[in-house]
Structure 1
Amino acid sequence: LRASALAEPKLKPEQFSVLVRDIPSIPHGQTRKEQIDSYFKELHPETFYKSMVITDNRKV
């Protein structure tokens, strides 16, 4: 059942595993997505898949 729900093309907020707030300032030369990806890749190198940065949650 979960696999069929995840296979739908439309993303749903309830599918997200982690909601991160109050992220430190972006290091020079890096985007917000690069900052988040590098952080989680360092913590979870074997299991991190991808991130999606949402800055306006009214559109989700």
Structure 2
Amino acid sequence: MVTRYFPHEVPQKYSNLYPLNQSPQAKLHPDDGCVRDRWVENQNAPLNYAAQFEDA
């Protein structure tokens, strides 16, 4: 599990509280038609982490 604040890793004891198979999917995703703010698009453009995953 990853957080947006440092450190970017969550301790295992907290990660275990939220099983991935029970976690809800993201509701606002550009692949589902969500339009993000221009600054978010500009920030994400060089990284594009979603393109690195098969299920994205």
TM-score class, shorter: under 0.3
Per chain length, whose mean CA-contact separation is higher, i.e. which structure has more relative contact order (CA < 8 Å, sep 6+)? 1
With normalisation by structure 1, the TM-score equals 0.20
